[in-house]
Amino acid sequence: MPADRVPPAGPRRPTAADGVLVVDKPAGWTSHDVVARLRRLAATRKVGHAGTLDPMATGVLVVGVGRATRLLAYLSGADKAYDATLRLGVATLTDDAEGEVVAVADASGVTRAAIEAGARALSGPILQVPAAVSAIKVAGERAYARVRAGEAVQLAARPVTVSRFEVLATRPAVGPGGVPALDVDVRVECSSGTYVRALARDLGAGLGVGGHLTALRRTRVGGFTLAVARTLDELAAEPDHRPLPVLPLADAARATFPARELTATEAAELGYGRPIDPGPGEANLAADPAGGRVGPLAAIGPDGTLVALVEPRGGRLHPTVVFAPA
């Protein structure tokens, strides 16, 4: 964390309850910086995040506290939405504004119609080559570490789904050496694992002028939106004598997964790690028509607490993680 952002020592705040914080991450902070700050505010080291945002990016970062950290692996797989600005006419090593410029081309002749056609070609189920400077591991080492060591890294394409790639606005810009460039504001909705930087790169490549990402704001992760996000300053302003307010486990699970209301007997069975019988039509509730997995169900007890996440398997609902042991 930057030295000027390290908070002064003070009285210890009471430990926060198990739950989720939706943070509006500021620019210039890593996701780890945010977690480190929230460990102090929540008065516990058991804090983690569901999906990294690059330092240049802002917006929704879902953070788990206490037992909610066990939800993060499931929340990280939720679909996401972004508002972004792409610059056409300039390609960079990292596919974003923080990387070295590797190619420049005059983009003044690129029309909005051509940009929209290029965005359509990158929509739907596609195979995307991730940005080389990414956290993906290659032979046990992060790709970005290999690139920064001077190694040429070529990552394998992977299937992602871009459900929305909308061009909002275009405007002239100036690239290195005064070469005409074009800035494009877009709105993207996509599956987990999609790189908006790679969309910028591939859109520019398809138009023959190159491109990179200059601004990124994540507006949604699953059911968590900017409307419920709080800034770090707002969270730090909470009274020191009270625990940091969090979204309860059950509410956080309901925001992302279909809910399954339990009887007391079913809650006890799941608490022991035992499967329960599904209700009418529930055996396939977590599977889409094409056979892909959408996600687990949030099993909610009669008292409104999250008992477990369950998945249909073999005609029964099996707990994948139990939050309320019997």
Domains of the chain (ranges; CATH) run: 3-78+223-249 (3.30.2350.10), 82-214 (3.30.2350.10), 257-322 (2.30.130.10)
The pLDDT, as a whole number, for residue 121 is: 98
Mean pLDDT of 89-110: 94
Global pTM value: 0.88
Mean pLDDT of 136-144: 59
Closest CA to 250 of 262, 238, 236: 262
Q: Is the pLDDT of residue 102 over 70?
A: yes
What are φ and ψ of residue 86, in 5° steps? -110, 145
Active site amino acids: 54
Of 6-15, 45-54, 232-241, 246-255, least confident by mean pLDDT is 6-15
pLDDT in tens, 190-241: 999 999 999 999 999 999 999 999 999 999 999 999 999 999 999 999 998 9
The pLDDT, as a whole number, for residue 292 is: 41
How would residue 154 be classed by pLDDT, with cut points 50, 70 and 90?
A: confident
Question: Which of 38 and 153 is assigned the larger pLDDT?
Answer: 38
